[in-house]
Copies of this chain bind each other. A is one copy, B any other.
Amino acid sequence: MNVLGTHILLELRDCDPRLLDDLGHIRAELFRAAVAVDAQVVGESFHQFSPQGVTGILSIAESHISIHTWPELGYAAADIFTCGEQTMPDRAAAAIVAALRCRDPEITQIRRGPDGARVVELQTAHILN
């Protein structure tokens, strides 16, 4: 199969609501996640919503890392899409889960490329430990 990259979707439940509404914290932690996978950041976009919620995206040479938060639900949806041989997106996933003090993450891993998108079965606990 012609796979170019791995896309991880994180459903982050039971996070610390204060951290979900803290743009500075989220920006710092997304950069930290990028470092965790040796990604090269080539662009960024962060936005604070009113009355609450943050959107953050890092463009990386290997694709992107994004997050959208709902502090009122203790929930965030994050994506880590990395291409190339050297990247290990699970490291970025673990970093984001820890950064938001998330106690109930769900991970969906998808292989992407010209042959299509394929969901890979995995154990969330295995990725994060």
Contacts and interface: CB of A to CB of B under 8 A. Distances in A.
Interface of A: 4-5, 7, 9, 11, 13, 42-47, 49, 55, 57, 59, 61, 63-64, 66, 68, 70, 73, 75, 77, 79, 81, 83, 106, 108, 110, 112-114, 116-117, 119
Given A57-B64, A63-B68, A83-B68, A11 B113 contact: yes
How many copies the complex holds: the figure is 2
B106 A77 contact: no
A63 B59 contact: no
Contacts of A68: 63-64, 81, 83
Given A43-B55, A108-B110, A49 B63 contact: no
Contacts of A79: 79, 81
14 contacts: A5-B77, A7-B77, A9-B110, A9-B117, A11-B113, A11-B116, A43-B47, A44-B45, A45-B45, A45-B57, A55-B59, A63-B68, A66-B66, A68-B83
B66 A64 contact: yes
